């Protein structure tokens, strides 16, 4: 009888010991998970502070340096940057700067320029015309033209009843638009109210819609050599700075920053209005951010 009681007691001790071991294991796993989560939050916060610091340094350079690459400058940003959306790296951070004047403003009254851009992207003429009509209908322009007639269309356009796009993603609403064409169009278009078109910072696909093939190649070659100025542009294309053409970057500049810290990464794109000699030297026109955590090993 005594031996039986001792056996039962031993089993109870082993059972209690097993339960305690499982509880300790669970507590250890929970603590490990919480530590990893806390570290991820700390890394993300540190990454955001670092990104803000690098972005501020770039903004300071944009306000204090000429907006042109200068290989002899003591400023690392001025040595490396360009305003054509081509990536460059400073202090381990990848930046791109795109002059918004080098993009095409989304038209809201006439689709001719938009259709020419589509033709330059090898879109068939019928589809380009259809997309142009759909873009005008989306913003209200073409609908009023059909309803009121050509004679009254200009008067209707002045009544403030148009609905210009608020985000480029709205182009996906066009029935004839597909994901592939949208990806090609997005870097070429802007909603920013640009002061004019800047051929010195425009992507090649957009230059193809604005210039002849020979002019486009000549401008691309001159730009690659860093030799595009007002005189060069006039000699190559016959264009000069006026109310529709500008040759200096800005004031709208879209800055994209990508950087990582241990397992965290961030990418942020901000369109800044940069006017060094104005009372409000810098303003944010649009901003987006994409954060991610890489798998920790």
Residues 8 and 98 in one domain: yes
- 148 domain residue, yes or no: yes
- 212 domain residue, yes or no: no
Report the number of distinct structural domains present in the chain.
2
Give the pLDDT confidence score for residue 297 in this predicted structure. Answer: 33
| Four-point Cα dihedral 66, 71, 75, 76, nearest 10 | 120
Residues 97 and 20 in one domain: yes
Give the pLDDT confidence score for residue 187 in this predicted structure. Answer: 86
- 223 domain residue, yes or no: no
- 219 domain residue, yes or no: no
In this structure, what token pair is assigned to residue 120? 């330059």
Residues 89 and 16 in one domain: yes
Residues with Cβ < 8 Å from 230, sequence gap 6 or more? 240, 241, 247
- 210 domain residue, yes or no: no
| Four-point Cα dihedral 193, 198, 204, 206, nearest 10 | 40
Are 50 and 268 spatial neighbours (Cβ–Cβ below 8 Å)?
A: no
Residues 145 and 180 in one domain: yes
CATH classification of the domain holding 110: 1.10.40.60
Domain final position from 143, 159, 188: 188
Residues 75 and 115 in one domain: no
Give the pLDDT confidence score for residue 273 in this predicted structure. Answer: 92
Q: Which residues pair with 105 in a beta bridge?
A: 190
Q: What share of the chain is helix, strand, coil (3-state, %, to 5)?
A: 50, 15, 30
Give the pLDDT confidence score for residue 111 in this predicted structure. Answer: 79
| Total-model pTM | 0.69
Residues 11 and 94 in one domain: yes
Residues 110 and 47 in one domain: no
Give the pLDDT confidence score for residue 44 in this predicted structure. Answer: 75
Give the pLDDT confidence score for residue 254 in this predicted structure. Answer: 92
How does 40-59 read in b/e, with b if 16+ C-beta sit within 10 Å? Answer: eeebbeebbebbeebbebbb
Give the pLDDT confidence score for residue 145 in this predicted structure. Answer: 43
Residues 78 and 125 in one domain: no
Under-50 pLDDT residues of the chain:
143-160, 294-297
- Domain boundaries, position 17: 1-103+192-198+248-297
Residues 94 and 138 in one domain: no
């Amino acid at each position: 009888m005594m031996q039986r009681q001792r056996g039962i007691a031993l089993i109870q001790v082993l059972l209690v010991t097993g339960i305690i071991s499982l509880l300790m294991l669970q507590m250890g796993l929970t603590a490990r998970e919480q530590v990893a989560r806390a570290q991820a939050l700390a890394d993300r916060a540190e990454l955001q502070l670092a990104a803000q610091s690098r972005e501020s340094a770039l903004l300071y350079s944009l306000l204090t340096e000429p907006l042109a690459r200068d290989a002899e400058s003591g400023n690392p940003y001025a040595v490396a940057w360009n305003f054509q959306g081509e990536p460059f790296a400073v202090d381990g951070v990848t930046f791109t700067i795109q002059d918004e004047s080098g993009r095409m403003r989304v038209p809201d009254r006439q689709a001719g320029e938009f259709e020419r851009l589509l033709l330059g992207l090898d879109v068939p003429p019928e589809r380009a015309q259809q997309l142009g009509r759909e873009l005008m209908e989306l913003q209200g322009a073409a609908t009023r033209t059909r309803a009121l007639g050509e004679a009254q269309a200009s008067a209707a356009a002045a009544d403030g009843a148009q609905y210009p796009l608020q985000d480029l993603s709205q182009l996906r609403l066009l029935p004839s638009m597909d994901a592939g064409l949208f990806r090609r169009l997005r870097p070429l278009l802007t909603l920013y109210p640009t002061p004019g078109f800047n051929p010195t910072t425009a992507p090649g696909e957009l230059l193809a819609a604005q210039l002849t093939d020979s002019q486009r190649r000549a401008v691309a070659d001159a730009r690659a050599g860093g030799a595009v100025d007002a005189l060069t542009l006039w000699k190559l294309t016959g264009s000069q700075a006026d109310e529709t053409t500008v040759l200096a970057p800005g004031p709208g500049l879209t800055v994209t920053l990508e950087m990582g810290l241990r397992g965290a990464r961030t990418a942020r794109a901000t369109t800044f209005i940069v006017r060094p000699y104005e009372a409000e030297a810098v303003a944010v026109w649009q901003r987006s951010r994409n954060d991610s955590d890489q798998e920790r090993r």
